[in-house]
Structure 1
Amino acid sequence: MNIVRHNPHGRLLCDAVEYNGLVFLGGQVPRDLSQDIKGQTADVLQQIDALLAKAGSHKSKIISANVWLADMRHREAMNEVWSNWVDANNLPCRATVEAKLADPRMLVEIACIAAK
C-alpha cells in the first residue's frame, strides 16, 4: 500500500499522511496567534477541513481527535466552536488536555485521524 504525504515541512514533518484508507493529521496550530481561543480554534478547524478535503475525506469521517489547550479554562469556549463545526451525526472520540504548546501565544492545537 502506498503512503501519501501532504504538505511536508522541510525534514521535520507533514501536515497529513494517508495510509490504508485512513488520513492522519498532525497537530494543526493557529496561523494568527493574535486571535482569542475562539478565533484560533476556528482557524485550526478550517485547516483541518482543507487537509481532509485534499486527502479525499471530510470532517464527518473523523474517527479520533486530540485537542491540546494552553489553559483548560479555554475548554468551554473551544467546545463552543468545536460543537458548531463537528458533524453532530458522526461524532469522533476525543481527548482534551492542557499542555504547554510550542509558542506561548498558541492557545490550541488539534490532531485527528479520519477514514477516507
Structure 2
Amino acid sequence: MSHLRAHGSLSARELAEATGLTPSTVTALLGRLEAADLAERAPHPTDRRRIVVALTAEGNAYLDRSEAWLADVLDGVEGADAEEVDRVLDGLGAAFDAQSAFIQEPAAQE
C-alpha cells in the first residue's frame, strides 16, 4: 500500500516487480485490498488493454492511521532502545532489498 501511495497507479506486474512478490501473491493481496475498499483496479488512462491499481480514499486514510500509530509507538522508544530499533529496521530493510533483488534477477545471482 505504501508503494502504491508513493508511486501512484501501477499495474499488478509493476507492483510485483517493485516489491519482489510473485504476481500470484500480488493478485491475491489486491483482491483482499479491493474487498476491504482499500484499493481499486481501473483501466489504464491511455491503454485500455491494461489494468492499473490505485489506493482508494479509504486506503489512503488507512495508511495515514497506520503511520500515525507507528509514529506513536516509536515516540515511546528512547536512548539505546531507539538505536536498537533503528538497527533492526535497517537490517530488515537491507534483507528485504536483498531478497527483492534476488527475486527480480535470479540469473544475475548465479
Question: What interval of TM-score do these two structures reach, taking the shorter chain for normalisation?
Answer: under 0.3
Structure 2 length-normalised TM = 0.24
**Higher relative contact order (Cα pairs below 8 Å, separated by 6+ residues):** 1
TM-score between both structures, scaled by the size of structure 1: 0.24
Greater strand content: 1
Pick the structure with more helix per residue: 2
